[in-house]
Amino acid sequence: MPISVREASGKMSNSYHFPVLPGPDSKLVTIEVDGAEVQVPEGTNLIEALETVGIDTPHFCYHPDLPLAGNCRQCMIETDGPRGMGLAIACYTPVRAGMKVATDRSSEKVKKARAAVMEFQLANHPLDCPICDKAGECTLQENYMKAGNGHSRMREEIGKAYHGNPAHRTVDSKGQSRGGKHVDLGPNVILDEERCILCDRCTRFMRDVAGSEQLYIADRGDRAYISVFPGTQLDHPYDLCVTDVCPVGALTSKHFRFLQRVWFLKKTESIAADDSLGANLTIEHNEGKVWRLMPRRNAAVNKSWISNATRLSFRDLETGRLERGRTDGHDVSLEDAFAKAGQILSKARKVALVASGHLTNEDNAALLALAESLGEKAEVFGGSWLPVGTPDGISRSGDPVANRKGLEILGIPDNLDDLVRRASEFDVLVVAHNDLWGAAPEKARGLEAIAQRIVLSPWVNATVERATLSIGIRAWAEVRGTMVNCQGRIQLLQAAPIAPDERLEPAWQLLSRLSGERWSSEIDAWKSCQARVPALAALSYRTIGRSGQLLEVA
């Protein structure tokens, strides 16, 4: 996946370059940290190298997927230079063989320098935590607990002061100068200027990753503040990523602020199911409801970014769901719908089964197993009529069929047009989560020649409307399974306990019950995938892990 923006910005000036991160083939060298010898990857930035040996360095401005800025000065360490041991910032110091490093564990000087930076950082930072959305996941809070003084020696007459945008300055009831609250930057993001610690991450994201310099830092000194250019707004398809990189509560999302305290949120690690890159993300939910989707770092896939479209796709999980069965224009219970489907299949003369790239490999394996149980009278079709876009170079491939590659490795052909041509041969059609009528109504009209149309779908859509029998199933955030992204990387989806009705079944379960196999968990379905695809034989959910595995066949 080409990241063209990154290369372009590197040519303009020497001032911004990306950190060197440890990779699987980095050469290890020995350095001395706090008097002990450790092996770390050569040439990487020290802050990352220390991380590999379990030493955590507090920082604000450093981000592995953004160019280095070195301006927060929190990651101070001591290292040996031409003039002996001296303070340096760990994010900008490259690892050299034999270098000596002292962290806060052995150096009082480092400890004092970090505490001093914390003190300066908080000199004008408001004590907003009780009303701040970032509280609980705030880097400033975390670093203060690690490196702060534990008490304040600031003078009460001096107080805190907001010197930023003159148009936003006010004086509060205690006579302190405050301001910059609730500045509307655009359709998605709200800025709180007085909470900003000017780490520059958001402006670097917009300039060097998003490639659209919509944010900048105006003015200088302690009067500096983040702003959009006059007459413009922050409205980039990735602008919500600035709320992730913001280490404090300065940039918050209009779609999340004031809705939940972050410590109530449970986290389920999954991937995006709306695009074939399969951006890694975390489903954050509480009491059966998803409150937000957050990007999950995967250096090989989406780095630390997800698009606004992916991020806001959680809203679909609770709207327009097909929670029951539906036949002849009226609702039936899921069990009745299932029983009816069994009767239709048992009486069928010839069945066309349509697999889907929106389903997991496990679901599609169950579909194949159903086809096998039906024997000669069943035929499997696959593919999608949805238009394919172009990659944006950040976290989307442009192909909305998330598991297209998965269909390929299971040997399911892309032959929907064949199905339309041969529609008259079939008397039963089974469509598993594939919105054929929504994607191409003219083509799909040909399928109406098939008398019995059974549709499995998490949502009510055009295909459900045209079905003679439809059955609700679980959506992507509610199932466990695997998908293969456009790079050929098999990745894991995990089930968050958020299904609108707990009687809804995952597609593989419904299909395996129809086939009479009665698989007891998705592991059975996974074993069926492994039996079909030799490349999967050596893998398990555990070895696929958080960041997926590149498949050799794909």
Rounded to a whole number of angstroms, the minimum distance from the CB of residue 110 to another protein is: 10
Given the complex with another protein, which of 162 and 508 has the nearer CB atom? 162
- Burial class, 303, CB count within 10 angstroms (exposed 0-12 / middle 13-18 / buried 19+): buried
3-state secondary structure of 237: coil
- In the complex, least distance from residue 170 CB atom to another protein, rounded to whole angstroms: 18
Closest CB to another protein among 76 and 483? Answer: 76
Largest CA distance in the chain: 88
Taking the least distance from each CB to another protein, the nearer of 251 and 504 is 251
- By CB under 8 A, name the binding residues for another protein: 11-15, 68-74, 76, 87, 92, 112-113, 116-117, 119-121, 123-124, 150-158, 161, 163, 197-198, 200, 217, 219-224
For another protein, the closer CB: 116 or 262: 116
Sign of the C-alpha dihedral, residues 19, 484, 422, 445? Answer: negative
Nearest-approach distance from CB 138 to another protein, in angstroms: 16
Question: Considering the complex, what minimum distance in angstroms separates the CB of residue 244 from another protein?
Answer: 21
In angstroms, give the least distance from the CB of 254 to another protein.
Answer: 27
Query: CB within 8 A of 485, min separation 6: which ones?
Result: 271, 276, 277, 278, 301, 397, 402, 405, 491, 548
Compute the distance between CA of residue 138 and CA of residue 133 in angstroms, rounded to an integer.
Answer: 9
- Which is nearer to another protein, 70 or 446 (by Cβ)? 70
For residue 275, give Cα distances in angstroms to 188, 238, 366, 547: 21, 15, 23, 17
Q: Is the CB of 163 or the CB of 324 nearer to another protein?
A: 163
Among 485, 490, 461, smallest CA distance to 473 is for 461
Helices 507-515, 522-532: crossing angle, 10 deg rounding: 80
Instruction: Reduce the secondary structure of 462-494 to three states and give it as a string.
Output: HHHHCCCEEEEECCHHHCCEEEECCCCEEEEEC
Helix residue ranges per DSSP H, 108-240: 108-123, 139-147, 201-204
Q: Which is nearer to another protein, 37 or 157 (CB)?
A: 157
Hey, what are 500's tokens? 């609108």
Q: How far is the CB of 204 from another protein (least distance, A)?
A: 12
| Residue (55 or 198) nearer to another protein, CB | 198
Q: How far is the CB of 150 from another protein (least distance, A)?
A: 7
Residue 450 CA to residue 448 CA, distance in Å, equals 5
- Residues 422, 351: Cα–Cα separation, whole Å: 12
If DSSP codes are grouped into helix, strand and coil, which group holds residue 195? Answer: helix
Handedness of CA 217, 218, 219, 225 (dihedral sign): negative
Least Å distance between CB 7 and another protein?
A: 14
Q: Could you give the CA distance from residue 111 to residue 397 in angstroms, rounded to a whole number?
A: 45
CB of 153 to another protein, least distance (A): 5
Query: Minimum distance from CB of 94 to another protein (Å)?
Result: 10
Query: Cα(224)–Cα(166) distance, rounded to whole angstroms?
Result: 11
Closest to another protein by CB, 123 or 554:
123
Nearer residue to another protein within complex by CB, 7 or 328: 7
Closest CA relative to residue 66, chosen from 180, 208, 181, 175: 208
DSSP single-letter state for residue 387: P
Amino acid, res. 191: L
Give 329-334's long-range contacts (Cβ < 8 A, gap of 24+): 334/471, 334/472, 334/503, 334/504, 334/505
- CB of 113: closest distance to another protein in angstroms? 6
Q: Provide the terminal-to-terminal Cα distance of the chain, rounded to the nearest Å.
A: 15
Shortest reach from residue 224's CB to another protein, in Å: 4
- Closest by alpha carbon to 493, among 506, 505, 482, 504? 482
Nearer to another protein, 15 or 319 (CB): 15
Nearer of residues 144 and 205 to another protein, judged by Cβ? 144
- Of the pair 121, 457, the CB lying nearest another protein is at 121
Q: Which uninterrupted H or E stretch holds 76? A: strand 76-81
